[in-house]
Amino acid sequence: MTQIQQVLFEVESPYAGRPYHVSGNALFNAFADQVSGAARGAVHVSHGVFVPSEYGEFPAAHSSPGYAGKLGGSLPEVEAYADLFLYRDAAHRWLLDSRPRDAQNTLDVQTHGGRWAFAPESFFGVPEHHRNSKRRVPWFLHCYVHAPGNDSVLPVSTDALDGIQVGGQRNYGFGELSVADTQLVDLDEVSFDGLRGHDEFSIELLSPFVLQSGVSGADRQSVPSWWGASRAGEVVDGDGLRRRGERLVTSDGVFELATVDHGHVVPYTGTDPVGTARNGIMRVGTHSRFGFGELRVRPADADRVPGRGEEL
């Protein structure tokens, strides 16, 4: 049995950090002191992705495609591989077309005594004939936790997770999170049938893949041999992959990381797409324990942007 624990936090106070996601390292350090030594040594934490609570529809690849009511504020059941990624795409393509997508997948900015931060909620105007003059959209943060070889430490208790803080200026009360929902998913019970019966596949990199780390003893990685040529229009290096500098903060200091930037879609040239998909959930490469190296496998004929290329 291989389990992951999905966790959905509600953002309770302004957040002073990077937009779109919180690193798995930051989330781990936020609750590490609240769990046992065994759990602290075993758990791996994904990056957290910000999610608005809004009306939407499940994507075509989901096990229950179609109108879903309000999403973002709770965790739908997971039956198929594609279900795991509903909240993992910062573009939130599940939002209804009637919603202002470009505005609703972007955090609002606030100032507090000269300190800049992202707001825990957004407000949108509504038509005059509606009872209220504006509509409130709260923000949530989705991540998942797993413990390779030691599922006994799962689930991490709500008491340990509730009230953690992430980002900067935490001593001013910024970055507080409360647990909105959590559930255990047994990957052995998840269907991977959506990846069967296809001849070609692509890989979407959902978090940066670490090539080199300043942390003592960390392995240096090369671009995986099962990645084909990048589809990115912006070629920054000879292999067509954008590089990105990251930092990892530990008790020993701040360490520079050289990574392949997330967001790449590359052809899959391996021979075991289902096995790669399972490994990608758990993440691959250096510092995968702290959210780096998350990837998703898709059939090559499945466009991740619905409607792209259709005539208007």
Average predicted confidence (pLDDT) for the chain: 89
Tokens encoding 301: 């004929």
CA-CA distance, 297 to 255, in Å (whole number)?
30
Asked if 278 contacts 297 with a C-beta cutoff of 8 angstroms, the reply is no
Phi, psi of 296 (to 5 degrees): -130, 135
The reported pTM is 0.91
Confidence at residue 124, expressed as pLDDT on a 0 to 100 scale: 79
Tell whether the model's pLDDT for residue 29 goes beyond 50: yes
Which residues, 6+ apart, have CB-to-CB distance to 236 below 8 Å?
242, 243
Tell whether the model's pLDDT for residue 19 goes beyond 90: no
Mean pLDDT in residue range 213-239: 76
Scanning the chain, the segments in alpha helix (DSSP H) are 24-31, 37-42, 101-104, 158-161, 273-282
Of 114 and 145, the structure prediction assigns the larger pLDDT to 145
Domain locations in the chain as residue ranges: 3-189, 196-299
DSSP 184-213: EEEGGGSB-GGGTT-S-EEEEE-SPEEEEE
Asked if 232 contacts 241 with a C-beta cutoff of 8 angstroms, the reply is yes
User: pLDDT tier at 20 (50, 70, 90 boundaries)?
Assistant: confident
User: pLDDT tier at 158 (50, 70, 90 boundaries)?
Assistant: very high
Mean pLDDT in residue range 203-230: 90
CA distances from 146 to 82, 150, 155 (A): 18, 9, 9
User: pLDDT tier at 88 (50, 70, 90 boundaries)?
Assistant: very high
Highest mean pLDDT among 24-28, 104-108, 250-254: 24-28
In this structure, how many other beta carbons lie within 10 angstroms of the beta carbon of residue 34? 16
User: pLDDT tier at 162 (50, 70, 90 boundaries)?
Assistant: very high
Peptide bond just before 14 cis, omega within 30 deg:
no
User: pLDDT tier at 133 (50, 70, 90 boundaries)?
Assistant: low
User: pLDDT tier at 312 (50, 70, 90 boundaries)?
Assistant: very low
Of 248 and 124, the structure prediction assigns the larger pLDDT to 248
Confidence at residue 128, expressed as pLDDT on a 0 to 100 scale: 66
Tell whether the model's pLDDT for residue 224 goes beyond 50: yes
Mean pLDDT in residue range 265-272: 93
Asked if 149 contacts 43 with a C-beta cutoff of 8 angstroms, the reply is no
- Left if phi > 0, otherwise alpha if psi is -120 to 50, otherwise beta: which for 204? beta
Tell whether the model's pLDDT for residue 231 goes beyond 60: no
Per DSSP bridges, beta strands 54-58 and 44-45 are unpaired
Confidence at residue 234, expressed as pLDDT on a 0 to 100 scale: 46
